[in-house]
Amino acid sequence: MTILHIPLLILWLLLIPFCIGLLPLRWIPRENRRGGVILVAGYLILLPLCWLVAVPCILFVKYDSFIPMVIIYTVLILIAATAGVCLTLWFWKKGNPILEIPKFSISDWIQNLSWEEKIGWLIFLGLVGFQLYKAFTLASFDGDDAEYVAQSLVTVESDTMYLILPYTGGTTSLDIRHALAVLPIWIAFIGKMTGLHTTILSHSILPFLLLPLTYMVYVEIGRHLLKKKPEQVPGFMILIALLQMFGNVSIYTNETFFLTRTWQGKAVAANFVIPMTILLLLWIFDRKKSQKNSHAAGFWILLCLTNMTAGVCTSMVVFLNVMMIGAAAFWLMVADRKLSILIKAGMACIPNAVYMLLYLFLQVGK
Amino acid sequence: MYGIFMESVVIFKNYAGSRYIMVLFLLALVYLLIMEKDKRKRALFVYMPLSLLLLFFFPLFRKVFVRLMSGSGDTYYRVLWLIPTGVIIAYGSMKVAGSLEEKLGVWARRGATAVMAIAIMICGKYVYASPYMSPAENLYHIPQKVIDICDLMAPKEGEERIWAVFPTDLVYFVRQYDTDIQLLYGREMVEPKWSYYDPVHEVMNHPTVIKLEALLELTREKHCTYLVLPHNKKISGNPNELGLELLDTIEGYPVYYDPVAAKKMEKAFG
């Protein structure tokens, strides 16, 4: 890895996703349009787009399938990023900006915080910084890396997706169980575009993206739950960060996956997709009546995209997310006495149904 | 049905471990059940987790889940990922701290938050003390000896991929570094729970002795040109006499090139 990789990593992991994240902003309420939300939204578009391009290539192109995938995906994400920027500029020129540049500077914001909040945020940022430091300086052994991390490298080095056994290098028939969860392919794509070895990317670089991305979701959950007591949000975040660090009560918890297998699809599903689903359920259903109809469409779109992102990460969470949304929608329906909640939630799970049908179809046809 | 239920109980116990984070979670859940007045938050942070927990222990659900996951129940614990344990503990704690502030003042809230932070540290288990964590030796986060061994045998640009055999403790890492090195057996043979069989692995996995003659019979048949032998086992047979060339010994692991296998391959493929 050289210093030249850094601008490319910033471009592909931050700038382009951020520009893509501008796309759904018009349909998200103003109070939720923050930098972190835009980046998260960018990834919720970027990753499903990867699935939509990679899966047909895997199923229909077979050998050297990674080459057309890279070409088509690059074109699509560049179009999406350009569209995001153009849309923002267009609304800005129309005098109805979708993204307002904050009138106050960061120093004003810091000055407006009480000393307690300042200390709280500093402790929280310190804990996140410590986790990033540990992610960089400690190697964690996990047998599944022989599958997931090697899969990305095989893809880059052979230009073929899911037809070579990552464990040995022997050829195989299409591995359906893993082929629909294309996160290793997205990592291979980033490796290809940045020229970085995908194992370095997975183990040393991606934690710097995935850890903050998860905390951005938790910050939004904290802000929503503690709307009336914003001074408690830093305390909430400190507890969340500590729970991640001290949640290694067994090798199975999502907290353990978060800090030891950060780059694997199941860890992303457990720590990004599931909390994001909870955040969106909060944003959609826990709103004042006056807010209900304003820009909620964006949240529903994001919920559908989150369900699609689950499929990018691991097939199982596609099914699990339906369970969670179903259980939440049932109790919210009881709370609000509205059957429409269950129907709308069911509609948001259509991507999951399509995914599961495709999975079963491919398994049966194998 | 009772047996399936008890299996779920065991899975839950294994998931929760021997620490008390789950106790904190249950306390927070009970607190929110009693004190949370907002019906939507109750739905999301009390009723939803409780119903998912009930579903987890419900035998019929487990049966359906296992059937859907192609007969494998190993991953059933992932249902528990759906319960937002962390958010419930943190939110419950903030609610307790907030109510203390109303009664006793701002320092009571600060104190309660600090107590909760300490409770999490005591009840939980520090992830960086895990035996699976070790100082990274390089940016790849794989053992440096694997990189050194791979660099020794890796084919040059434009050359054909090679076949190699590695000791079981190294097979996880080889293809994370270089996929031009193909392995006669990989992680699929090493994991005892999968109980696959491979004759080369059987020879290499012998607890004390590697029978070199038997090994070479198998590896030459498969055109395997590189052998890395374990550093902690006896080798029966003389590598030189059997036609092997020692390239180097890296951290105790002898790395051999097998010209006999290379010739055999050239004869077969030209």
String of DSSP letters for B4-27: HHHHHHHHHHHHHTTSSHHHHHHH
B73 vs A191 pLDDT, higher one: A191
Measured between beta carbons, which residues in chain A are less than 8 angstroms from residue B191? Answer: 143
Q: Is residue A101's pLDDT more than 70?
A: no
Q: CA nearest A261: which of A362, A147, A339? A: A147
pLDDT of residue A26: 86
The pLDDT of residue A74: 98
**Chain B residue closest in CA terms to A166:** B175
Best CA proximity match to A16, nearest among A196, A193, A202: A193
Cβ–Cβ gap B141/A137 under 8 Å:
no
Q: Supply the pLDDT for residue B266.
A: 82
pLDDT at residue A96 tops 80: no
Which residues are within 8 A (CB) of A124 and not within 5 positions of it... i.e. 6 or more apart? A234, A237, A238, A241
> Which among B38, B82, B184 is the top mutation candidate for probing chain A, defined by the most A β-carbons within 10 Å of its own β-carbon?
B82
User: In degrees rounded to 5, what are phi and psi of residue B133?
Assistant: -100, 140
Report CA-CA distances (Å) from A312 to A194, A309, B97, B116. 21, 5, 39, 36
Per-residue pLDDT tens for A132-148?
A: 999 999 999 999 999 99
Question: Residue B22's pLDDT is what?
Answer: 93
Q: What average pLDDT does range B74-98 have in this prediction?
A: 95
Q: Tokens 């939803």 appear where?
A: B48
End-to-end CA distance of chain B: 62
Average pLDDT on B247-265 reads: 93
Paired with A140 in beta bridges are B133
Closest listed residue to residue A244, CA positions, set B12, B18, B117: B117
Chain B partners of A253 at a C-beta cutoff of 8 Å? 15, 17
pLDDT class of A366 with cuts at 50, 70, 90: low
Contact status of B90 with chain A (Cβ, < 8 Å): yes
Structure tokens at A215: 């905390």
Q: How far is A328 from chain B (nearest CA, A)?
A: 5
Residues in Cβ contact with A264 at an 8 Å cutoff, skipping those fewer than 6 apart: A142, A144, A145, A148, A183, A257
Which pLDDT score, from 0 to 100, does residue B227 have?
Answer: 96
B89 touches chain A (CB under 8 A): yes
Mean pLDDT over the full length of chain A? 92
CA dihedral A36, A38, A40, A41 (to 10 degrees): 160
For chains A and B, count residue pairs whose Cβ atoms are closer than 8 Å. Answer: 265
What band does A99 get if pLDDT is binned at 50, 70 and 90? confident
What is the edge-to-edge ordering of all strands in the sheet holding B162-165? B181-183, B162-165, B226-228, B253-257, B245-250
pLDDT score of A330: 95
A165-174 tens-digit pLDDT:
999 998 888 8
Q: A289 pLDDT band (50/70/90 cuts)?
A: low
Query: What pTM does this model have?
Result: 0.94
* B145/A204 Cα distance (integer angstroms): 19
**B177 chain-A contacts, CB cut-off 8 A:** 199
Q: Sort out which chain A residues have CB atoms less than 8 A from B51's CB and list them.
A: 327, 330-331
pLDDT above 90 for B217: yes
pLDDT at A234: 96
In this complex, do A158 and B184 lie within 8 Å of one another by their Cβ atoms?
Answer: no
Mean pLDDT score, A29-39: 89
- Predicted confidence (pLDDT) at residue A290 exceeds the cutoff of 60: no
Compute the distance between CA of residue B138 and CA of residue A138 in angstroms, rounded to an integer. 10
Task: List strand residue ranges (DSSP E) for A145-227, in order.
Answer: none
Q: Which residues of A touch B94 (CB under 8 A)?
A: 225-226, 229, 232, 235-236, 239
B72 in contact with chain A, both atoms CB, cutoff 8 A: no
> What is the pLDDT averaged over residues A18-28?
92
What pLDDT sits at residue A105? 66
Chain A residues 323-352 within an 8 A CB cutoff of chain B: 323-324, 327-328, 330-332, 334-336
Tell how far CA B186 is from the center of its chain: 15
Judge whether B32 and B95 are in contact, CB under 8 Å.
yes
Q: Is A232 on the interface with B (CB under 8 A)?
A: yes
- A positions 125-154 inside 8 Å of B (CB): 134, 136-143, 145-147, 149-150, 153-154
Closest CA to B172 of B196, B159, B191: B191
Interface predicted TM-score (ipTM): 0.93
Instruction: Give the tens place of pLDDT for each residue, B110-157.
Output: 999 999 999 999 999 999 999 999 999 999 999 999 999 999 999 988
Lowest model confidence (mean pLDDT) among A195-209, A263-277, A337-351: A337-351
User: What are the CA-CA distances from residue A151 to residues B75, B170, B175 (Å)?
Assistant: 21, 17, 9
Residues 179-238 of B with CB under 8 A from A: 179-188, 190-191
Q: What is the pLDDT of residue A112?
A: 79
Distance (Å, whole) CA A270 – CA B61:
20
Q: How far is it, in rounded angstroms, from Cα B4 to Cα B18? A: 22
